[in-house]
C-alpha cells in the first residue's frame, strides 16, 4: 500500500497544538495590556483632576509671587525655591557617596562577613520609614553636629534617607557590566581603578542615573524629615530671589507648605491647594524628565 507524500502546504499547516498556543499567547498579551492600562488610567485621572481643580489659581505669577495675607493669597516662590535647595543639596551629597560606596562593595570588597553585614544593612535601611530618618536627622545633625534647624540639616537628612536606594541601584548597574570587559582591560595591563573609570562606569551610568531619578521624587515629596530638621511654617523671601537661603537658615518647602495650608491655615481657596500640588508634581516631573533625557543620551552612546 503506497502512501502519498504530503503537499508542502500541508507540512507547515497549523496544528491544533499551535492554535492553542497562539490563543494562549493572545490572551496573555491582552491581559498584560489591560493591566498596563489599569495602571496608567488612575495616574492620568489623578493628574487631570489636580490640574482641573488648580486652573483658577495656576499661573506663572502664582509660581513667582510670595505668600500674602497669612498665606491665603499670593504665590509659592519661597517654598518652590526651598524645595530646589533641599533636593539639590541632598542629591549633591548622596549621589557621590552612594556611587563610591557601591563601587567599593561591588568592585573591591571581598566576600567576608563584614561586607555581607554592610550589604544587609544597606538593604534594610532602604525600608526604614521616613519618620525614623527624621528623628535620626534631628539627633545627629540638629543637636549632635550643632547645625541647628537649617537647610543643611534637612538636606543631610534627606541624603541619608536616599543613600540606600542609590547604593543598591548602583550596585545592580555595575554588576550588569559583563566581567569579560573587566578581564580584557586587566589583560592589557590596566589597573582596577583604570578599568572602573574607563569601562565600568561609562557602561553603567544609565543604570546609576535610574537609581538617582527614583530618589528625586522621594526627596521632593517628603515632609517628616524636613519638618523635624529645617522646614519652617513661613519665611520672608523677596520675589524672584534665586538665592534666598543660606545653609544655616531655615527654609520653606512645597511639601511642608502644602501640609500647612491643608491643616493649619483656614479659609484657603481650594484651587490654591491644588495649584501647590500641581507645582510640586511638575517640579518632580521636570527633574525626572531632564535626568531621563540625559540617561537616554548616554545609553545611545554605549558600544554594546
Identify the three-state secondary structure at position 73. strand
Contacts for 57-63: CB closer than 8 Å, 24+ residues apart: 57/269, 57/271, 57/272, 57/274, 57/275, 58/271, 58/275, 58/278, 58/279, 62/275, 62/279, 63/279
> What residue ranges do the domains of the chain occupy?
75-300
The set of cell numbers assigned to 118 is 554592610
Alpha helices (runs of H) in 138-269, residue ranges in sequence order: 151-175, 179-187, 192-195, 201-221, 224-229, 254-263
DSSP classification of residue 139: I
> How much is the pLDDT for 7?
52
- Residues 126, 214 contacting (CB under 8 angstroms): no
Q: In which band, very low, low, confident or very high, does the pLDDT at 82 lie, cut at 50, 70 and 90? A: very high
Q: What is the mean pLDDT of the chain?
A: 86
Cα–Cα dist 179/186, whole Å: 11
Query: Could you read off the pLDDT of 160-187 as tens digits, one per residue?
Result: 999 988 998 898 889 888 888 888 888 8
Counting every residue, how long is the chain?
A: 304
Provide φ and ψ at 128, rounded to 5°: -70, 130
β-bridge mates for residue 68, sequence order: 73
- Residues 71, 260 contacting (CB under 8 angstroms): yes
Number of neighbouring beta carbons within 10 Å of residue 210: 16
Query: Could you read off the pLDDT of 269-282 as tens digits, one per residue?
Result: 888 999 999 998 88
Handedness of CA 200, 201, 204, 207 (dihedral sign): positive
HSE-up of residue 85 (Cα within 13 Å, Cβ side): 28
Which residue is listed with cell 517654598? 79
The set of cell numbers assigned to 143 is 543637636
> How much is the pLDDT for 143?
93
Q: In which band, very low, low, confident or very high, does the pLDDT at 10 lie, cut at 50, 70 and 90? A: low
Q: Are strands 73-74 and 67-68 parallel, antiparallel or unpaired?
A: antiparallel
Q: Which of 102-116, 122-136, 290-304 shows the lowest per-residue confidence on average (mean pLDDT)?
A: 290-304
- Residues 237, 66 contacting (CB under 8 angstroms): yes
Number of neighbouring beta carbons within 10 Å of residue 250: 20
The set of cell numbers assigned to 286 is 521636570
Question: What would be the CATH architecture of the domain defined by 75-300?
Answer: Orthogonal Bundle (1.10)
- Residues 225, 134 contacting (CB under 8 angstroms): yes
- Residues 202, 229 contacting (CB under 8 angstroms): no
- Residues 269, 56 contacting (CB under 8 angstroms): yes
- The answer, yes or no, to whether residue 4 has pLDDT greater than 70, is no
> CB within 8 A of 147, min separation 6: which ones?
141, 153, 156, 248
Q: In which band, very low, low, confident or very high, does the pLDDT at 223 lie, cut at 50, 70 and 90? A: confident
The set of cell numbers assigned to 284 is 518632580
Amino acid at each position: 500500500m503506497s502512501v502519498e507524500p504530503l503537499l508542502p502546504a500541508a507540512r507547515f499547516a497549523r496544528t491544533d497544538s499551535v492554535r492553542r498556543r497562539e490563543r494562549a499567547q493572545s490572551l496573555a498579551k491582552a491581559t498584560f495590556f489591560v493591566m498596563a492600562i489599569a495602571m496608567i488610567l488612575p495616574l492620568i485621572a489623578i493628574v487631570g483632576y489636580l490640574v482641573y481643580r488648580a486652573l483658577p489659581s495656576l499661573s506663572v505669577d502664582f509660581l513667582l509671587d510670595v505668600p500674602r495675607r497669612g498665606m491665603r493669597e499670593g504665590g509659592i516662590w519661597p517654598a518652590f525655591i526651598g524645595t530646589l535647595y533641599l533636593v539639590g543639596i541632598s542629591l549633591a551629597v548622596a549621589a557621590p557617596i552612594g556611587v563610591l560606596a557601591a563601587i567599593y562593595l561591588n568592585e573591591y570588597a571581598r566576600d567576608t562577613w563584614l561586607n555581607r553585614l554592610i550589604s544587609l544593612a544597606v538593604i534594610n535601611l532602604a525600608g526604614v520609614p521616613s519618620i525614623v530618618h527624621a528623628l535620626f536627622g534631628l539627633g545627629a545633625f540638629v543637636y549632635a553636629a550643632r547645625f541647628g534647624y537649617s537647610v543643611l540639616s534637612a538636606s543631610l537628612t534627606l541624603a541619608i534617607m536616599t543613600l540606600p536606594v542609590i547604593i543598591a541601584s548602583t550596585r545592580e548597574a555595575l554588576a550588569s557590566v559583563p566581567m569579560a570587559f573587566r578581564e580584557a582591560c586587566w589583560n592589557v595591563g590596566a589597573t582596577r581603578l583604570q578599568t572602573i573609570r574607563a569601562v565600568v562606569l561609562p557602561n553603567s551610568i544609565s543604570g546609576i542615573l535610574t537609581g538617582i531619578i527614583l530618589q528625586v521624587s522621594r526627596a521632593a515629596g517628603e515632609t517628616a524629615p524636613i519638618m523635624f530638621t529645617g522646614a519652617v511654617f513661613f519665611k520672608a523671601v523677596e520675589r524672584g530671589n534665586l538665592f534666598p537661603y543660606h545653609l544655616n537658615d531655615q527654609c520653606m518647602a512645597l511639601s511642608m507648605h502644602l501640609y500647612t495650608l491643608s491643616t493649619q491655615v483656614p479659609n484657603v481657596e481650594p484651587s490654591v491647594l491644588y495649584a501647590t500640588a500641581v507645582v510640586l508634581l511638575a517640579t518632580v516631573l521636570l527633574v525626572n524628565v531632564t535626568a531621563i533625557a540625559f540617561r537616554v543620551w548616554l545609553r545611545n552612546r554605549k558600544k554594546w
